[in-house]
């Protein structure tokens, strides 16, 4: 009988000691927030365009980190963002999901100011506050702030907003792959 | 010193825990599809196995033996292993979120890795066990596990791009490869007797 009691007491004390160690470790090694969300967010293009179905880039990052969202829903980021996310999360590279749009060259909004009627609708649509203006005053776009999400094009009642491709700089220059020559073989040209 | 070297060779090659004693087969099949994950898992398991081997030796020698409670070793070793794994998980989560994410479910699953409990139990069965010997024994077992896991992950990465007949694709060819590796490791039998 005494063996049983010793056994219970010894195991209890052992368990209490280990519990104390784990309790201390839980406080000592507490993780604030989820650092992986910030890392994913840093890789997203921050256009806040909502093409992925989330209200912005941060919610999409949270969706990827916690909700198991696929990494291929970001058209503005395109191929390079998917590659970077795949490297970070150690998952397979997926082709861009065409349902959410296709990769386009980076653009900025341009307001043809002579036609602007000052309705402020585009200001309300802009997710990054890149449009300057007031009611009945002409609006203009701050080029450095604009992410090219084209959310302001739709609400404009007079269609005075154009999406203009950014001028080529060393940062956004891309190699133009030479296309394979078409119709070199006679049968391809249909001239059998 | 020679004795420690012999223990290492014995646990890594001759009595390899995965291929000769058939312990720890779950992570062996589960985490070996990608080389990077396999390396991460090997490192986590090496750490846990060595630490668990030392701690379970201490628990056995200084708590269970004096109270004549040797029959409690299974449950107390499981307790020790669970604590070490939980502790490792916290430290990894804090220091390397990426590794934490890559290892995912397999990190807590080290608790149920029978190689860890196997090492702790086999450790107490061996005569004249000392602190250093049990540490080396755990380290050797972990290194053997890592070696096999990484070798197997490398093989499976090659198999993934090979033209495998349809009935053998996936787990089947993995099992066959594991069997062939096991046959190869059986060749070390008799190299050392401990």
pLDDT for the residue numbered A86:
85
B36 touches chain A (CB under 8 A): yes
**pLDDT number for residue A18:** 92
In this structure, is the dihedral angle defined by the CA atoms of residues B97, B103, B104 and B107, taken in order, positive or negative?
negative
Owner of token pair 């269609």: A159
Per-state percent for chain A, helix, strand, coil, to nearest 5: 40, 5, 55
Backbone angles phi, psi at B170, to 5 degrees: 80, -130
pLDDT tens digits, one per residue of B109-136 = 788 788 888 888 888 887 677 888 889 9
**Contact status, residue A161 vs residue A122, Cβ threshold 8 Å:** yes
Strand partners, A162: A110
- The CA-CA-CA angle for residues A192, A178, B161, to 5°, reads 90
CATH architecture of A107-165: 2-Layer Sandwich (3.30)
pLDDT score, position A192 = 53
Identify the H or E element spanning A111.
Answer: strand A107-111
CATH 1.10.15.40 placement within chain A: 35-100
B166 vs chain A: nearest CA distance in angstroms?
23
Which of A10, A26, A34 lies closest to B67 in CB terms?
A: A10
Q: Domain map of chain B by residue range? A: 2-186
Alpha carbons B6 and B8: distance in angstroms, whole number: 5
Asked if B83's CB is within 8 angstroms of A7's CB, the reply is no
To the nearest whole Å, the CA of A26 is away from the closest chain B CA by 7
Task: Find, in chain A, the residue whose alpha carbon is nearest to that of B72.
Answer: A7
Assessment of whether the complete model's pTM goes beyond 0.90: no
State phi, psi for A93 to the nearest 5 degrees. -75, 130
- Percent share of chain B, pLDDT over 70: 95
In chain B, what residues touch A21 (CB-CB under 8 Å)?
A: 83, 87
Residue with token string 């449950």: B75
Residue A34's pLDDT band, with cuts at 50, 70 and 90, is low
pLDDT value of position A67: 74
Cβ-nearest to A29 among B36, B94, B98: B94
Question: Scanning every residue of chain A, which has its alpha carbon at the shortest distance from the alpha carbon of B73?
Answer: A11
Beta-bridge partner residues of A141: A131
Q: How far, CA to CA in Å, does B194 sit from each of B5, B7, B10, B53, B116?
A: 12, 8, 8, 18, 20
Sort A90 into a burial class: Cβ within 10 Å, 0-12 / 13-18 / 19+: middle
CA-atom Rg of chain B in angstroms: 17
Mean per-residue pLDDT of chain A:
82
Map tokens 């396999």 to a residue: B38
B161/A contact by beta carbon, under 8 A: no
Q: What is the pLDDT of residue A33?
A: 63
More confident residue, A119 or A35: A119
Q: How far is CA A101 from the centre of its chain?
A: 13
Whether A20 and chain B come into contact, CB under 8 Å, resolves to: no
Answer yes or no: is pLDDT of A98 > 90: no
Given phi > 0 = left and psi -120 to 50 = alpha, else beta, which region is B22? left
Least confident interval from B97-101, B119-123, B163-167: B97-101
Q: Does residue A12 carry a pLDDT above 90?
A: yes
Output the pLDDT for position A49: 80
CA distance B5 to chain A (A): 33
Query: Locate tokens 């628990």: which residue?
Result: B59
Report d(CA A52, CA A97) in Å as an integer.
Answer: 9
CATH architecture of A35-100: Orthogonal Bundle (1.10)
pLDDT in tens, B136-153: 999 999 999 999 999 999
Q: Which residue of A has its CA nearest to B80?
A: A18
User: A3 and B90 in contact by Cβ < 8 A?
Assistant: no
Pinpoint the residues of chain A covered by CATH 3.30.70.20: 107-165
């Amino acid at each position: 009988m005494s063996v049983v009691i010793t056994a219970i007491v010894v195991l209890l004390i052992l368990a209490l000691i280990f519990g104390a160690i784990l309790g201390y470790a839980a406080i000592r090694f507490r993780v604030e927030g989820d650092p992986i969300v910030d890392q994913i967010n840093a890789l997203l293009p921050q256009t806040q365009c909502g093409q992925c179905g989330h209200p912005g880039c941060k919610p999409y990052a949270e969706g990827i980190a916690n909700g198991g969202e696929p990494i291929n829903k970001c058209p503005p980021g395109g191929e390079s963002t998917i590659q970077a996310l795949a490297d970070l999360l150690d998952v397979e590279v997926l082709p861009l999901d065409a349902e959410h749009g296709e990769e386009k060259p980076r653009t900025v909004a341009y307001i043809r100011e002579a036609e602007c009627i000052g309705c402020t609708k585009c200001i309300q649509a802009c997710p990054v506050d890149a449009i300057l203006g007031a009611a009945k005053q002409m609006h203009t776009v701050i080029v450095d702030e604009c992410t090219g999400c084209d959310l302001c094009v739709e609400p404009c009642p007079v269609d005075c907003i154009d999406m203009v491709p950014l001028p080529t700089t060393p940062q956004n220059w891309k190699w133009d792959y030479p296309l394979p020559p078409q119709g070199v073989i006679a049968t391809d040209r249909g001239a059998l | 010193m020679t004795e420690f070297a012999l223990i290492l060779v014995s646990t890594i090659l001759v009595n390899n825990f995965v291929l000769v004693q058939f312990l720890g087969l779950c992570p062996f099949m589960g985490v070996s599809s990608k080389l990077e994950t396999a390396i991460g898992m090997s490192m986590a398991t090496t750490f846990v196995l060595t630490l668990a081997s030392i701690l379970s030796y201490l628990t056995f020698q200084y708590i269970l033996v004096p109270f004549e409670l040797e029959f409690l070793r299974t449950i107390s070793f499981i307790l020790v292993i669970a604590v070490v794994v939980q502790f490792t998980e916290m430290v990894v989560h804090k220091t390397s979120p990426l590794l934490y994410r890559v290892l995912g479910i397999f990190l807590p699953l080290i608790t149920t890795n029978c190689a860890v409990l196997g090492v702790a139990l086999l450790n107490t069965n061996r005569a004249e066990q000392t602190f250093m010997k049990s540490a080396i024994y755990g380290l050797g077992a972990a290194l053997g596990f890592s070696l096999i896991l990484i070798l197997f992950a490398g093989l499976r990465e090659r198999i993934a791009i090979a033209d495998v007949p349809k009935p053998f694709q996936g787990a089947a060819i993995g099992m066959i490869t594991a069997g062939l590796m096991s046959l190869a490791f059986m060749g070390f039998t008799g190299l050392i007797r401990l």
